[in-house]
Structure 1
């Protein structure tokens, strides 16, 4: 297996260590000047080996430390070089900093135990307090580099963990921001659709009738309805703009539609659907003297009825559209039944299906129940909404 190229700092350490050792050798500054078991030049071999091992201090720190231990022991059998000992301490430090987590945990304990063992053995052998110096030297060469490396590694790991936590926090914040933006977009899309769709549908239906029926009375009636819905649609748009400004703090809160306004909503639907043979009826069975419902529930129920009436005007066959409200067991039930079948007469307006999606989303936000579909001769929209205080916090 081919080893990666040494880091430039490791090359610099190796070069400085080798040159320092050569300079000490040339000047005759030896660690063990009186030891001549082998020729003096032999001390250059452990020096060269230690310098070469410095190139591997990051890539294979454990193997470099083992070979460095052999080199420093061999160095003590020669006249010795202080540069070799210093490079061994660096190899010990690198083994803790760059080695495996297991090595990083074991080496401080191993070198600490070795320091104690050497100190005790020296005292037992020489029986002199000066033997403690050997223990101190062992600690300086082995234990202190290992402890320093452990401290540096712990600091780096803590910094990396903090960086990862910061990145994760940033990503979660960005995800929350995107979700908030998406939720706000969906909310404004529902409001825009529910506010304007029924007015534009009425305008489309009556303008189609005015164009297809060559009658002055029909055209006059259609223009009246078109004008009324245009004015109301403009008012709704202004209310929506006021809502947006209120969100940014430029204006005070804007009034939210409530179920008390269903009478006006049905009156408007009667004008719009008169040409299609539609009648509209409201059956409100909620008990008298009841407490006011939370504003989100009132708004959702109002918008569901509004969208259902709009769909009835666009698609229902002649007949009666019935709106029913029931309040029982802390739950508000909204039901709209429209005559269902193939519509062959009367002008129609195209639909996109966004209304059903918006109604379903409104109910889901309140943890309610929603269903829409044919039920015998009628198309039924039914929503069950929680009417307690928790719903007001949704």
Structure 2
């Protein structure tokens, strides 16, 4: 289809060079054939001018340029001919394959090959001589050779485009992976920060409120002791987290907490909640207390820690029981506390702790539930129960 787009600069140069070269050859009297129908040399300038003009369309309308150029080349055979006209036609064949649509790029080499073969056979039958074969070779060089060159260049160009596309897709996937990794790391940091600090800050909030609201020196002294202890422990936890986040520093970060530290956690929770009427106990019914995979131990520890924090905030006076058990490939973690109203101050909750527990369990491929459970004695308990796979091969499934 004809296009009115502005010609490319290189096409303008090719057109001008072809026209100038043909005119120079005409001026010095160099022609490529004799004894034609139109023997006057000036007639050969007409196909030359047409072919030169078609060079301006080699990119914008390659098929139209090739079709009209073929007619111009045939017309040139009835004149004394010009080498410049012939060379510009070969460029039109090359451009039609390179810049034309994919269908044309596939058909043109086949058509030019058939034309070359048919021309060679026809001339051999008409005049059996070496000249007939030479004519076939020339036709192949003018038509099939440029078409084959265009196919090769187009294939290399398409391969380069595909390679750039794959590189762009790879870069996009890498960026998506980076964003996901950053998001996951931020979520992990948020869970760690919440689980490490919320317990201490909840105890500080409750006991500071008690110290301000109860006018009793002994109670205030006990509350201030709990506040100081939790402040120091919370500061230590914050320093540990900051140490983990620092780049380099030449220090080895402290190890993550494990189930072996539950005794200390339960003891601390009991001391923090004694003034609220809570008694915290730990029951470990596992057969053997060998180490579990590090992600499982950390998740179980954080679940117990967050559940004890929630009990300190919301539970009514009574027992808070932590139970550990193992059945086959599952580690069971349960924390129960009494549901009901209790006197004294409470710390507000945001719900982020339950979200963090669910995220930890989901990462390990386990299950978790939290809700009220009626008891045999008519009371209602709040039960957090999690089941975590303990074999390395089952984590995350």
Please, what TM-score do these two structures have when normalized by structure 1? 0.93
| Offset of residue 344 of structure 1 | 5.3
> Which whole-Å CA distance do the structure 1 matches of 2:253 and 2:135 have between them?
82
Q: Which residue of 2 aligns with 1:319?
A: 318
CA contact (8 A) 2:389 2:395 kept: no
Structure 1 residue corresponding to 2:346, chosen from 348, 358, 362: 348
- Greater displacement, 308-317 / 269-278: 269-278
| Offset of residue 366 of structure 1 | 0.5
Structure 2 residue corresponding to 1:381, chosen from 360, 373, 384: 384
Residues 324-361 of structure 1: per-residue CA shift (max 9 Å, x gap)? 212002101111122223x3521111222211111111
Going from structure 1 to structure 2, the CA distance change for 1:16 and 1:74 (only over 3 Å counts) comes to same
Q: Which residue of 2 aligns with 1:362?
A: 360
Q: Which residue of 2 aligns with 1:68?
A: 69
> Which whole-Å CA distance do the structure 2 matches of 1:332 and 1:391 have between them?
12
Q: Which residue of 1 aligns with 2:284?
A: 284
CA contact (8 A) 2:369 2:385 kept: yes
| Offset of residue 378 of structure 1 | 2.2
Q: Which residue of 2 aligns with 1:263?
A: 263
Aligned residues: 391
Residues 201-248 of structure 1: per-residue CA shift (max 9 Å, x gap)? 111111111111121111100110011111111222232234335x85
Q: Which residue of 2 aligns with 1:230?
A: 231
Instruction: Compute the RMSD of aligned alpha carbons.
Output: 2.0
> Which whole-Å CA distance do the structure 2 matches of 1:354 and 1:123 have between them?
90
Paired residues for 1:63-102 under 5 Å: 63-102=64-103
| Offset of residue 32 of structure 1 | 2.3
SS in 1 for 2:223: helix
> Which whole-Å CA distance do the structure 2 matches of 1:230 and 1:392 have between them?
35
Going from structure 1 to structure 2, the CA distance change for 1:306 and 1:290 (only over 3 Å counts) comes to closer
**1:390 has 2:388 as partner:** no
Going from structure 1 to structure 2, the CA distance change for 1:266 and 1:291 (only over 3 Å counts) comes to closer
SS in 1 for 2:33: coil
> Which whole-Å CA distance do the structure 2 matches of 1:379 and 1:3 have between them?
79
User: Structure 1 stretches of 5 or more lacking a match?
Assistant: none
CA contact (8 A) 1:300 1:363 kept: yes
Going from structure 1 to structure 2, the CA distance change for 1:107 and 1:253 (only over 3 Å counts) comes to same
Residues 101-139 of structure 1: per-residue CA shift (max 9 Å, x gap)? 122122222212222221222222111112221112111
Q: Which residue of 1 aligns with 2:30?
A: 29
SS in 2 for 1:55: helix
- Greater displacement, 110-119 / 362-371: 110-119
> Which whole-Å CA distance do the structure 2 matches of 1:15 and 1:172 have between them?
48
CA contact (8 A) 1:295 1:392 kept: no
User: Structure 2 stretches of 5 or more lacking a match?
Assistant: 375-379
> Which whole-Å CA distance do the structure 2 matches of 1:339 and 1:68 have between them?
95
Paired residues for 1:1-394 under 5 Å: 3-37=4-38, 39-245=40-246, 248=248, 250-252=250-252, 254-287=254-287, 289-341=288-340, 343=341, 345-376=343-374, 377-390=380-393
> Which whole-Å CA distance do the structure 2 matches of 1:196 and 1:108 have between them?
75
Going from structure 1 to structure 2, the CA distance change for 1:2 and 1:100 (only over 3 Å counts) comes to closer
